[in-house]
Copies of this chain bind each other. A is one copy, B any other.
Amino acid sequence: MLLVEDEERLADLVKGGLAGEGFAVDVAHDGRDGLWMATENAYDVIVLDVMLPRLNGYAVCSKLREAGDWTPIMMLTAKDGIYDEAEALDNGADDYLAKPFSYVVLLARLRALVRRGGRERPVSITVGDLVIDPAGLRCRRGEVGIGLTPKEFAVLHALARRPGEVVSKSELLAQAWDFSYDGDPNIVEVYISALRRKIDLPFGKTTLMTVRGAGYRLEAA
C-alpha cells in the first residue's frame, strides 16, 4: 500500500502497525510525491491525508481518477476543518476516516477495501465499433480483440478521449509520454503507424486520420 501523510509521527506509527499485519507500506510525505509514486507503481490501496504540502489530498485523488487509476483510496479527513467527507467521496475516494481515528478501525476498513478489490471497472470509451477499456488496457473492434502495447494504448486512449477532434502531436506527446519528453517527436508518427496497422488495416477501415499540419483525428465512421 501507499501511505501519503506529512506528519512524520503518524506516518511511522501507521507504517509500523500495518507492516506487522502483512502490508508492505511505501510512504510519501507530500502530495506531489504521493501522486508520482501512485502513478509509477500499482498499489492495492492508497491512504491519503487531505491536508498535505504541495498538493492536497483531493487534488491527488481526482488527478489519479482522471488518469484512469482506480486503485482503492481511503482519505483521512480532519473532522473540524473546512474539508468534509462528502467532498472526499465526490473526488473519487472509496472510503474516508475522520481524524483522530482508532488504529483498529483503520485496519478493519483497509481490509474491507482491499477485499472489495477496488471499485468496479471504469466505463469504457467507444468510438464507432472500437471499444477502449482504459482499466484493462484492452481494446477491440466489434467482437475482435486487439493486442496493444502500453504505449500504443496510451496514444489510442488520448485520441479516443476526444473522438472526432484533432489532437495535436504535442498533445499526444504530453499525454502518452512523460511530461517533458525531449526525444524525437517522430515517435508519435511511428506509433500512429503501428496503431493503423492494428486497428484499421485488418478491418479495411480508415478511422485514424492525419490532419496535416494539425495532428491526428480518430473518427467513428
Known: A122-B112, A136-B166, A136-B217. A150 touches B211 (CB 8 A): yes
Flag whether A26 is at the interface (Cβ < 8 A).
no
Distance between Cα atoms of A137 and B164 in the complex (Å): 9
Q: Chain B residues with Cβ under 8 A from A214's Cβ?
A: 137, 150
Distance between Cα atoms of A94 and B164 in the complex (Å): 17
Flag whether A69 is at the interface (Cβ < 8 A).
no
From 151 to 193 in chain A, residues with beta carbon under 8 angstroms from any chain B beta carbon are 162, 164-166
Q: Shortest beta-carbon distance, A163 to chain B, in Å?
A: 9
Known: A86-B131, A126-B89. A211 touches B137 (CB 8 A): yes
From 106 to 126 in chain A, residues with beta carbon under 8 angstroms from any chain B beta carbon are 108-109, 111-113, 115-116, 119-120, 122-124, 126
Contact of A129 with B90 in the complex, beta carbons under 8 Å: yes
Residues of A within 8 A of B (CB): 86, 89-90, 92, 94-95, 105, 108-109, 111-113, 115-116, 119-120, 122-124, 126, 129, 131, 133, 135-138, 142-143, 149-150, 162, 164-166, 211-214, 217
Q: What 19 additional pairs, Cβ within 8 angstroms, besides A133-B164, A135-B162?
A: A86-B131, A86-B143, A89-B111, A89-B124, A89-B131, A90-B111, A90-B126, A90-B131, A105-B120, A108-B119, A108-B120, A135-B165, A136-B165, A137-B166, A137-B214, A137-B217, A138-B164, A150-B211, A150-B213
